[in-house]
């Protein structure tokens, strides 16, 4: 387990972690229940695609307006309100199913609410943690947070797969509502969160000022935009082509589950290690953490032994965890408080929000490459050729000296 000293020095961190554990536990189970409910009601694969893909647009919108909204209702208020929206959607779904009302359209609405809530919360969480813990504890706090949410992310799908199989789906949705409600209770012990008004510029003015700050910070946009390309092409191709290749080339589709388990285990180990690191070239570390998945994709396309792939999947999970903790901690230290929400919003926009869009392009890319194996090999090798040189030339600081000092960041106090 990560060192618990950080919890003693920062009393509010325990409540924060308890809230995130319960929330991620529910968030991990929601897609499972959406899938079970859709297919249990006789829905087709097309229906399931519509349900699971309904969150792409709100993910983009939520990432952009999260900071503006949290400035006006406080970060704690935003977390409570979005969680309440989840609770209502889950409970209402359980009630409707109990009365025999089952609709793909309603499940699309639920999926929409889920992704909107997640997109609104993610940027705010990045800017909220520095208000809960001391600056010198950011690495360890982010490490403990990643370990906690990683464990919940593993348990959530398993718990609700079991619950959905053991209980009626109606009851499983009500259990989800209770878990999410529990996640909101510890938030009452946390600070409201600092809001920043930017001369009453409104949401568009806030976006304009944040975008200006973002593009003045070369290290920030280099990592975020490169990560966006990696998510859009690399990660989406690996997650779709990977299991297809294991099925067709290895005749071992079950090995995809082994790779996912190894990746999850590696991510927990990475979270343990990351809290002890404080590198000076953060952008380089963040970019290099994107490389192990590309090597994994390349070796999978070259039909390397399964044992090698499983080991590399564990390295991939560890690398992504270390890169994520180092990146988040550096951003929280270097970026002025009034810009943190926007920076994490762009981070979410160019990662989680663009990934579904990349998935939609996979059939076109497969057609251009010829087959899944060639596509995975070309994208993995191409991105490695792009990412490694960028990691070498990446600046030492994420923000320029003048932006770090607050120039170009609006009139809000830093």
The Cα 194–Cα 131 span in angstroms is: 8
Q: Which of 195, 227, 252 is at the close of a domain?
A: 195
Question: Are the CB atoms for 117 and 109 separated by under 8 Å?
Answer: no
For residues 182 and 133, which has the higher predicted lDDT (pLDDT)? Answer: 182
> What is the torsional sign of CA 357, 362, 365, 367?
negative
Residues 102 and 122 in one domain: yes
Residues 51 and 77 in one domain: yes
In a domain, 372, yes or no: yes
Q: What pLDDT, on a 0 to 100 scale, did the predictor assign at position 201?
A: 56
Residues 163 and 220 in one domain: no
Residues 183 and 230 in one domain: no
Q: What pLDDT, on a 0 to 100 scale, did the predictor assign at position 382?
A: 94
In a domain, 337, yes or no: yes
Residues 123 and 20 in one domain: yes
**Range among 136-145, 310-319, 332-341 with highest mean pLDDT value:** 310-319
- pLDDT surpasses 50 at 218: yes
The pTM assigned to this predicted structure is 0.71
Residues 6+ apart with CB under 8 A from 283: 219, 222, 223, 391, 394, 395, 396, 398
- pLDDT surpasses 90 at 406: no
**Chain centre to alpha carbon of residue 39:** 26
- pLDDT surpasses 70 at 22: yes
Measure Cα distances from 272 to 9, 24, 44, 73, 136 in Å: 18, 19, 42, 34, 17
Output the CA torsion 332→338→341→344 (10° steps): -50
In a domain, 170, yes or no: yes
Residues 180 and 67 in one domain: yes
Question: Are the CB atoms for 87 and 313 separated by under 8 Å?
Answer: no
Residues 245 and 319 in one domain: yes
Question: Are the CB atoms for 180 and 90 separated by under 8 Å?
Answer: yes
First-to-last CA distance in the chain? 35
Q: What pLDDT, on a 0 to 100 scale, did the predictor assign at position 92?
A: 93
Residues 123 and 236 in one domain: no
Question: Are the CB atoms for 147 and 268 separated by under 8 Å?
Answer: yes
Residues 131 and 163 in one domain: yes
The Cα 38–Cα 51 span in angstroms is: 8
**Residue with structure tokens 């779904």?**
93
Q: What pLDDT, on a 0 to 100 scale, did the predictor assign at position 390?
A: 93
For residues 175 and 139, which has the higher predicted lDDT (pLDDT)? Answer: 175
- Average pLDDT of the residues of the chain: 79
In a domain, 413, yes or no: no
In a domain, 414, yes or no: no
DSSP letter at 394 equals: -
Q: What pLDDT, on a 0 to 100 scale, did the predictor assign at position 55?
A: 64
Residues 271 and 147 in one domain: no
**Chain centre to alpha carbon of residue 14:** 21
Number of domains present in the structure of the chain: 2
Instruction: Identify the domain containing residue 122 by its residue range.
Output: 1-195
Q: Which of 180, 195, 210 is at the close of a domain?
A: 195
CB count in 10 Å sphere of residue 252: 11
pLDDT in tens, 29-45: 787 787 777 766 665 54
Q: Which of 178, 195, 212 is at the close of a domain?
A: 195
The Cα 303–Cα 309 span in angstroms is: 9
pLDDT (mean) for 141-169: 79
Residue 166: closest CA among 158, 178, 177: 158
pLDDT (mean) for 384-407: 75
Tell me the backbone φ, ψ of residue 400, rounded to 5 degrees.
Answer: -70, 160
In a domain, 412, yes or no: no
The Cα 327–Cα 285 span in angstroms is: 8
**Range among 19-23, 75-79, 116-120 with highest mean pLDDT value:** 19-23
Q: What pLDDT, on a 0 to 100 scale, did the predictor assign at position 264?
A: 84
In a domain, 80, yes or no: yes
For residues 194 and 232, which has the higher predicted lDDT (pLDDT)? Answer: 232
Confidence at 407, pLDDT banded by 50, 70, 90 = very low
CATH number at residue 403: 1.20.1250.20
**CB hemisphere CA count around 401 (13 angstroms):** 0
> Burial level of 363, CB count in 10 A (0-12/13-18/19+)?
exposed
In a domain, 117, yes or no: yes
Residues 6 and 66 in one domain: yes
Q: What percent of the chain has pLDDT over 90?
A: 16
DSSP letter at 353 equals: T
Residues 187 and 220 in one domain: no
Measure Cα distances from 289 to 32, 318, 355 in Å: 29, 9, 18
pLDDT in tens, 163-217: 766 778 888 889 899 999 999 999 888 887 665 554 455 666 666 777 777 778 8
The Cα 353–Cα 57 span in angstroms is: 8
pLDDT in tens, 337-395: 777 777 877 787 777 777 767 766 777 888 888 888 888 999 999 999 999 999 998 88
pLDDT in tens, 247-297: 777 777 677 778 877 888 888 888 888 777 777 788 999 999 999 999 999
Question: Are the CB atoms for 104 and 47 separated by under 8 Å?
Answer: yes
């Amino acid at each position: 387990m990560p060192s618990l000293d950080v919890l003693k020095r920062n009393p509010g961190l325990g409540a924060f972690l308890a809230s995130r554990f319960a929330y991620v536990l529910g968030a991990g189970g929601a897609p499972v229940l959406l899938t079970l409910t859709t297919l249990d009601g006789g829905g087709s694969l097309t229906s399931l695609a519509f349900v699971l893909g309904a969150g792409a647009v709100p993910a983009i919108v939520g990432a952009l307006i999260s900071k503006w909204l949290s400035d006006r209702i406080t970060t704690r208020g935003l977390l409570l309100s979005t969680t309440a929206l989840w609770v209502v959607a889950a409970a209402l779904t359980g009630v409707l199913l109990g009365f025999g009302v089952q609709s793909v359209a309603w499940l699309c609405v639920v999926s929409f609410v889920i992704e909107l809530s997640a997109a609104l919360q993610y940027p705010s969480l990045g800017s909220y943690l520095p208000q809960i813990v001391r600056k010198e504890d950011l690495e360890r706090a982010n490490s403990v947070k990643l370990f906690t949410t990683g464990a919940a992310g593993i348990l959530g799908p398993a718990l609700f797969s079991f619950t959905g199989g053991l209980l009626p789906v109606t009851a499983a949705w009500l259990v989800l509502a209770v878990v999410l409600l529990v996640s909101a209770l510890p938030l009452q012990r946390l600070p409201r969160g600092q809001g920043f008004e930017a001369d009453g510029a409104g949401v568009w003015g806030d976006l304009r000022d944040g975008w200006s700050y973002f593009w003045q910070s070369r290290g920030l946009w280099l990592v975020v935009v490169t990560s966006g390309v990696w998510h859009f092409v690399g990660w989406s191709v690996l997650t779709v082509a990977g299991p297809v290749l294991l099925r067709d080339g290895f005749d071992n589709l079950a090995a995809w589950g082994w790779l996912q388990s190894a990746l999850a285990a590696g991510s927990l180990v990475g979270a343990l290690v990351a809290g002890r690191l404080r590198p000076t070239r953060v952008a380089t570390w963040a970019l290099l953490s994107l490389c192990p998945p590309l090597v994994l994709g390349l070796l999978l396309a070259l039909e390397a032994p399964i044992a090698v792939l499983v080991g590399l999947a564990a390295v991939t999970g560890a690398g992504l965890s270390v890169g994520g903790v180092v990146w988040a901690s550096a951003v929280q230290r270097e970026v002025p408080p009034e810009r943190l929400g926007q920076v994490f919003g762009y981070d979410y926009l160019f990662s989680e929000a663009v990934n579904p869009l990349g998935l939609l392009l996979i059939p076109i890319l497969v057609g251009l490459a010829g087959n899944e194996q060639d596509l995975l090999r070309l994208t993995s090798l191409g991105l490695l050729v792009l990412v490694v040189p960028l990691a070498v030339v990446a600046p030492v600081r994420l923000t320029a000296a003048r932006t770090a000092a607050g120039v170009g960041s609006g009139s809000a106090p830093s």
